[in-house]
Amino acid sequence: MTGYAVTTRETAHGTLTLELRSVNSRFLDLQFRINDDLRSFEPMLREAIMSRVVRGKVECRMSFGRKAAGPGNALNAALLEQLAALQAQVQARFTHAAPLSVNELLRWPGMLEEAAASQETLQAEIGAAAAETLDAFVESRQREGAALETMLLARVADMEQIVTRITPIVPQVIAQFQQKATDRMRETLGLALQSADAGAQPQMSQQEAAERIRQEVTLYGIRIDIAEELTRLGAHLGETRHILKKGGQVGKRLDFMMQELNREANTVGSKAPAKELSDAAMALKLLIEQMREQVQNLE
């Protein structure tokens, strides 16, 4: 689902801004846009987001505008010596490597001792900002989820009405087609028996012909009967309604229900012996496809 939230906090050392936004995706895809000096906090943010979000392409942006260094700031001598030694090793191997600039040294994480001492404080501030932003982010997705739930329940109701409407007419349609098949077969077999009376040897008697017609018509009725599929459709729709009403993480379960609904609707369409039933199957498949597109966005 889509969602958006942003939090800005004023800390003792600067302004912290944390932004979360997401677009629809079947899986969880996290992307971070964080300055290098804050990159060490990415695992903490990743863990916090994964604990609250299951689906969506989520982008996390974090920036920290530090206040100007005060007179109490001092260089971290140990870190400065370490960087000097490392730079010497690199330049000994790569003689054309450019040395670190003063600006790069001053911006190096932990170079100013006051900044280094404030890392724990900054981590606590980022943790609080992440919790606040995630609360607002999840709330925005819940509002969209409520709207999607309303739409999906409306589609379920439409499908239930179709199933309720066509279920009583299935026996009538089957009986009509069985009668038509019986009449055609009787006519065909009657002509064959007349030809036999004219001189050819009959292959079956009137009684055998009647029994053969009864068997064929019964098998035909079984092949075109969609009562079982309609029963399963009703059960799947009831389960879909139950999942939506129960709430929680429903996306993957609804994905499965859409597959089952589509399978039954396809069978109804392939077996339907009348245009009215075929049209109903097509309407069911259209509603299922509309639901499937939205279900993939639900968490």
Report percent pLDDT > 70 for the chain.
76
For the chain, domain boundaries: 3-70+124-144, 77-111, 174-222
Phi then psi for residue 229, to 5 deg, are -65, -40
CB atoms within 10 A of CB 284: 25
The angle that helices 227-246 and 169-197 make with each other, rounded to 10 degrees, is 160
Domain 3-70+124-144 has CATH 2.40.160: no
- Do 297 and 252 form a contact (C-beta atoms < 8 A)? no
Sign of the C-alpha dihedral computed for residues 206, 210, 212 and 216 taken in this order = positive
How far is 29 from 236, CA to CA, in rounded Å? 30
Residue 156 or residue 200, greater confidence: 156
Q: List, for residues 57-91, the tens digit of each pLDDT value.
A: 899 999 888 765 555 566 778 888 888 999 899 98
pTM tops 0.95: no
pLDDT, position 117: 42
Buried b (16+ CB within 10 A) or exposed e, 95-120: eeeeeeeeeebeebeebbbebeebee
Q: List, for residues 237-266, the tens digit of each pLDDT value.
A: 999 999 888 877 788 888 899 999 999 898
Q: List, for residues 187-207, the tens digit of each pLDDT value.
A: 666 655 555 555 555 555 566
Does pLDDT of 45 surpass 90? yes
**What's the N-to-C CA distance of the chain in angstroms?**
7
Sign of the C-alpha dihedral computed for residues 99, 101, 102 and 107 taken in this order = negative
